């Protein structure tokens, strides 16, 4: 059984069907062997990347989330394809080598949904653009998972995005 026992786990994990869709899209969009999940949380996305036969480096600053992610990967039988690292992506990024970086940084809890517009500069800590720029030092293949109310003009203008895809609402 997968565990999301910390209070944040339930609302911060990407719904499984969406994580599965993202893993499929990444697998078909990029020629990649190694994916970094820079803010892996309890492992929802990392597990789906691993199920898609990718090697995953799963990073999170919270040791409890890393333990839960490892347990969840055991449940799905993919621990052999995921390297779990407890640490700050912002400090570790310069040491990481990968083909794709997946970003789903904390959105500030469930209150993000009440904001009319989600500003990635002010509502993500550290600054969402700084995270993106740091990721581009690893690879140009950066996948950024943001809430529906993200300011798409802000995101595409500042980060020189080449493709935007809105995913269907979670079932």
| 3-class DSSP state of 123 | coil
Tally of helices (H runs) and strands (E runs) in the chain = 7, 5
Q: In the structure encoding, which two tokens stand for residue 42, read together? A: 């309890």
Report the pLDDT value the prediction gives residue 130, as an integer from 0 to 100.
85
Q: For residue 38, which of 27, 46, 26, 48 has the smallest C-alpha distance? A: 46
pLDDT for 57 beyond 70: yes
- Predicted TM-score (pTM) of the model is 0.82
Place of tokens 């802000």: 154
CA separation for the pair 29, 154 (Å, rounded): 23
What confidence score (pLDDT) does residue 123 get? 56
Cβ pair 19, 47 in contact under 8 A:
yes
Q: How is domain 34-159 classified at the CATH fold level?
A: Rossmann fold (3.40.50)
The confidence score (pLDDT) of residue 155 equals 66
Spans of all domains in the chain: 34-159
- Residues 44, 45, 51, 55, CA torsion sign: negative
Contacts of 129 (CB under 8 A, 6+ apart): 120, 121, 158, 159
Structure tokens, 91: 């400090």
Element (H, E) at 128: helix 128-136
Per residue in 136-168, pLDDT (tens digit) is: 999 999 998 877 667 676 666 555 555 555 554
Model confidence over 107-134: pLDDT tens digits?
Answer: 655 565 565 666 666 656 777 788 888 9
pLDDT computed for residue 49 by the predictor: 97
């Amino acid at each position: 059984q997968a565990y999301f026992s910390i209070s944040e786990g339930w609302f911060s994990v990407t719904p499984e069907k969406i994580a599965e869709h993202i893993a499929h899209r990444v697998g078909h969009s990029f020629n990649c062997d190694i994916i970094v999940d820079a803010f892996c949380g309890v492992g929802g996305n990392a597990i789906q990347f691993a199920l898609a036969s990718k090697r995953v480096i799963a990073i999170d600053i919270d040791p409890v989330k890393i333990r839960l992610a490892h347990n969840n990967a055991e449940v799905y039988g993919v621990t052999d394809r995921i390297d779990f690292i407890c640490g700050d992506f912002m400090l570790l990024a310069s040491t990481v080598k990968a083909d794709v970086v997946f970003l789903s940084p904390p959105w500030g809890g469930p209150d993000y949904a009440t904001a009319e517009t989600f500003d990635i500069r002010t509502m993500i800590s550290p600054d969402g653009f700084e995270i993106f720029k740091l990721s581009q030092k690893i690879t140009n293949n950066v996948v950024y998972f943001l809430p529906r109310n993200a300011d798409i003009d802000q995101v595409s203008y500042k980060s020189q995005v080449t493709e935007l895809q809105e995913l269907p609402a979670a079932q």
